[in-house]
Amino acid sequence: MKICPKCDAQNANTAPVCKHCGANLNETPEIEDATVQDEKPPYHIGLSVFFFILSFLASASKYALDLDMENIDISQPRHLIYFIAVFISVVTCVLGFVCLKGIFRKKKSLPGLGILAILMSVVCAALVIMDLLSIILML
């Protein structure tokens, strides 16, 4: 059976025109050329640099609090700010790594911003690990 390209009606294989709408069944429809879209890379270097900068600032900000790590009291605002800074540091570091996912699959050489993002990821990961270890040792 032939299917009409205009009304989707079923017609006999030998029918030259559609029995419902009269459309020519022997014409082949024109196919538009497919356009190739540029693939976006599976990573976002600029966004990862932003998240790593936030992670670094959150990790570094706790040093300005002048905390006595021996006597942690969560009711004091400085100690609460410390835990919030550690949380923000961990979350933004993880988001930075998520944005870098797939950066090593790139076949060309990495741009300077990509190398900066990788270096910042190592620094921020070390700071986050030190933050988490300090909290574990406090407990």
Q: In this predicted structure, what is the pLDDT of residue 98? A: 84
Specify if 133 maps to a domain.
yes
Tokens coding 96 = 């930075």
pLDDT in tens, 6-48: 888 888 888 888 888 888 887 755 545 556 566 666 677 888 8
Coil/strand/helix, residue 14: coil
Mean pLDDT of 76-102: 82
Residue 37 is assigned to a structural domain of this protein: no
Whole-Å CA distances, 74 to 85, 135, 137: 13, 12, 16
Domain that holds residue 118: 45-138
Q: Which helix (H) or strand (E) holds 119?
A: helix 112-138
Q: 26 and 50: one domain?
A: no
Number of domains composing the chain? 2
* pLDDT for the residue 93: 85
Say yes or no: 26 and 54 in one domain.
no
pLDDT at 19: 86
Phi, psi of 11 (to 5 degrees): -130, 165
Q: What is the pTM (predicted TM-score) of this model?
A: 0.59
Return the pLDDT at 36.
58
